Amino acid sequence: MTQQGSVFGAMLREFEGAARILNLEPGLWRMLTHAKRQIIVSCPVQMDNGEIEVFTGYRVQYNVTLGPAKGGIRYHPGVTLDEVTALAAWMTWKCAVAQLPFGGGKGGVICDPTNMSRRELEALTRRYTAEIIDAIGPDKDVPAPDVNTNEQIMAWFSDTYSMHVGHTSTAVVTGKPVEMGGSLGRREATGRGVMITARESAKHLGFELTGSRVAVQGFGNVGSVAAELLALQGAKIVGVTDWKGGVQNPTGLDIPKLIAHVAEHKTVLGFAGGDALGAADVFKLDAEILIPAALENQITEDNAGDIKAKLIVEGANGPTTPDAHKLLHERGVFVVPDILANAGGVTVSYFEWVQDRHGYFWTEKEVNERLEAKMVEAFDVVLKTAQKYKVDMRAAAYIVAIGRVATVTRMRGMYA
- Enzyme catalytic residues: 106
Question: Phi and psi at residue 106, in whole multiples of 5°?
Answer: -165, 150
Which SS3 state, helix, strand or coil, does residue 381 take? helix
* pLDDT recorded at residue 291: 97
- pLDDT over 80 at 19, yes or no: yes
Mean pLDDT, rounded, for 365-372: 98
Mean pLDDT value across the chain: 95
Confidence band, pLDDT 50/70/90 cuts, at residue 317: confident
DSSP code per residue over 80-131: -HHHHHHHHHHHHHHHHHTT-S-EEEEEEEE--GGGS-HHHHHHHHHHHHHH
pLDDT bucket at 4, cuts 50 / 70 / 90: very low
Specify the pLDDT at position 5.
Answer: 55
Q: What pLDDT, in 10s, does the model give residues 210-256?
A: 999 999 999 988 999 999 999 999 999 999 999 888 999 999 999 99
Percent of the chain with pLDDT over 70: 99
DSSP string, 289-308: EEEE-S-SS-B-TTTGGG--
Minimal CA–CA distance to 144: which of 171, 116, 166?
Answer: 171
Asked if residue 226 lies in contact with residue 315, where contact means CB atoms within 8 angstroms, the answer is: yes
Min mean pLDDT across 22-26, 236-240, 256-260, 298-302 is at: 298-302
Mean pLDDT of 24-52: 97
- What's the mean pLDDT in 131-147? 96
Backbone phi, psi, residue 343, to 5°: -75, -5
Tens of pLDDT along 341-361?
999 999 999 999 999 999 999
| Predicted pLDDT at 2 | 39
145-175 pLDDT, tens digit per residue, is: 988 999 999 999 999 999 999 999 999 999 9
pLDDT score at 295: 81
Dihedral of CA 398/303/222/296: which sign? negative
pTM confidence score: 0.92
Per-residue pLDDT for 1 more than 90?
Answer: no
pLDDT of residue 99: 96
**Could you give the domains of the chain?**
34-170 (3.40.50.10860), 188-341 (3.40.50.720)
- Measure the CA–CA gap between 157 and 173, rounded to whole angstroms: 8
- Closest by CA to 401, choosing from 376, 368, 378, is 378
> For position 3, what pLDDT does the model report?
45
* Residues in Cβ contact with 103 at an 8 Å cutoff, skipping those fewer than 6 apart: 36, 61, 62, 63, 64, 65, 66, 67, 68, 69, 70, 91, 92, 95
List, for residues 386-403, the tens digit of each pLDDT value. 999 999 999 999 999 999
